[in-house]
Structure 1
Amino acid sequence: MVQAILLVGGKGTRLMPLTRTIPKPMLPVAGFPVTQHQLAMAKRAGITSVVLATSYLEEVFRPYFGDGSRWGMKIQYAVEGSPLGTGGAIANAAALLRPDEPIVVLNGDILSSHDLSAQIAFHNKNGAAATLHITEVDDARAYGCVPVDANNRVTAFLEKMDNPIAKTINAGCYVFSPGAIDAIPANTVVSIEREVFPELVTHTQKVFGYIDNSYWLDLGTPSALLQGSRDLVQGRAIGVDFTSAPVSVHTNDYIALAGSRIDASAQIFNGSSIGQAVQVHEATVIDGSVVSNGAVISNGAIVRSSFIAEGVTVIAGAVIEASYVGQDGIFPLMVSN
């Protein structure tokens, strides 16, 4: 049986100020935390034992996810007193899992619709030490690239460069065979991307790339977070099963969670997301935005390409565009529509 580790300890610096009081994997996309969408993907692949590797604002995760029983999973928590890097976090979390079975590792800020079951099967077929999900992008300069040979065996891990030699990049989902994680030193700051994987390749370990060009998005910026939310609502990405979730409305225009109250005159469209217990009043417009739990959108307010934090009231007649509205103010966001 395959187990999983979700790397959810990052601070989310690129997402500030959204992550000032909430860790980025707990930010709502299409009504639910990023981590919940990842757990749904893991569950579809038959994974029921998961460790959340936490650090920044770690106290936020346990009250929401508990022991995982509400999703038919077992969830444990590995808390880093100080950040250990991606490799150190994996080694720390793996101590809570069975040492004789494969482990899937997911970066906590990735939204992916790739076939995780097929990636696991590909890993087993090749007898690999590690198998990375690899996706192809038009411009790899922002990511660095991971070239593979004719048999999809990884040949190198290359840093960002002006003229990448390949379009294949690390998509942030890995399968490790039993024992492969043992090479990562415990309680040490280690990068899986810059140290562990290159070391495995250098020492001719079998590291493979599972190429799957299904929907994939790095949710590391406000623009990407809003886009990912819209894509989930409109069916371009796969995450939580909305048919079995506490959802009161789901159309191509928007999703609204249970307990929300929306006036019939409100215009909500472009894949917007309305959280639990949200109040949307008369003559409002919500366009391609995320409205978090408990927020109030007052009469005549217009909200476009924006993120409204939990419990915030947008006053009557306000016009909010490309902004984050939190309890401590309004902050402009660099977003693309």
Structure 2
Amino acid sequence: VINAGLYIIEPEVMKYIPKDTKYDFSKELFPHLLKLGYPLFGIKLNGVWFDVGTPKELIKAQNHLVKNSKMLPFDLPDGELTPELGYIIGNSTSASPILTTVVCEDSIVGKKSNLVDSLVMSGSKIGDNCKIIESIIGENVTISDSCELFNCVIGDNVTIDKGTILNDQKVSLS
């Protein structure tokens, strides 16, 4: 059982939640409220749930949705499912195969690039001869030719220079 989703609490409960500090509802607040005699209620929901709080989990969730798109109770955004279980959304283009990767709208993937288990957000450009593995590329990012990114998160509006190799990095403008 996973306690995830939406919590509805009475305003008076807010006084038990410390300000300006991390506080875990399931491990701290709920046990405290039970000790004080407050009632707690829940509802079980069937289906698939993913904790998308990490890049790997986000990519795992997107790949599950793409792979099982015909069984979903909703449609994926207009796009093309590739033979390699990638998904190219809207007017994006890829001159390379993308394996279990989603390329969002207005993005371009160059020639002879290899994208695996990644997410390329809107307006981004991946150059030629790049390797993007298990990475998240933010919006309006430029990855120049011959770059290699492994397990990286690249923030919005970042440019990665030609030939750059990054492993386990987070890159942002700030």
Unpaired runs of 5+ residues, structure 2, are 170-174
80, 88, 113: which one pairs with 1:249? 80
Q: Is the 8 A contact 1:287 1:304 kept in 2?
A: yes
Whether 1:259 aligns to 2:94 is: no
- The answer for the alignment partner of 2:133 in structure 1 is 304
Q: Is the 8 A contact 1:325 1:331 kept in 2?
A: no
> Which residues of 2 match residues 20-59 of structure 1 at below 5 A?
none
Amino acid at match of 1:253: L
Instruction: Call closer, same or farther: CA 1:202–1:307 in 2, change over 3 Å.
Output: same
- The answer for the alignment partner of 1:333 in structure 2 is 168
Q: Is the 8 A contact 1:260 1:275 kept in 2?
A: yes
Question: Offset of 1:268 from its aligned partner?
Answer: 0.9
Q: C-alpha deviations, 1:193-239, integer Å up to 9, x for none?
A: 15542243123333234445642222222222222222222238x98
Question: Offset of 1:277 from its aligned partner?
Answer: 0.7
Identity %: 19
CA–CA distance in structure 1, aligned partners of residues 126 and 118 of structure 2: 12
Q: Is the 8 A contact 2:115 2:133 kept in 1?
A: yes
Whether 1:223 aligns to 2:59 is: no
Q: Name the one with the larger helix percent.
A: 1
- The answer for the alignment partner of 1:172 in structure 2 is 4
Instruction: Call closer, same or farther: CA 1:285–1:328 in 2, change over 3 Å.
Output: closer
Unpaired runs of 5+ residues, structure 1, are 1-133, 136-170
TM norm structure 2? 0.70
- State the SS of the aligned residue for 2:115: strand
Question: Offset of 1:317 from its aligned partner?
Answer: 2.8
Question: Offset of 1:280 from its aligned partner?
Answer: 1.5
- State the SS of the aligned residue for 1:231: helix
TM norm structure 1? 0.39
- The RMSD of aligned alpha carbons is 3.3
> Which residues of 2 match residues 36-185 of structure 1 at below 5 A?
134-135=1-2, 171-174=3-6, 176=8, 180-185=9-14
Q: Is the 8 A contact 2:150 2:166 kept in 1?
A: no
- Tell which has more relative contact order, 1 or 2 (C-alpha 8 A, sep 6+): 1
> Which residues of 2 match residues 281-292 of structure 1 at below 5 A?
281-292=110-121
CA–CA distance in structure 2, aligned partners of residues 240 and 290 of structure 1: 22
Q: Is the 8 A contact 2:94 2:110 kept in 1?
A: yes
Q: Is the 8 A contact 1:324 1:331 kept in 2?
A: no
Amino acid at match of 2:66: V
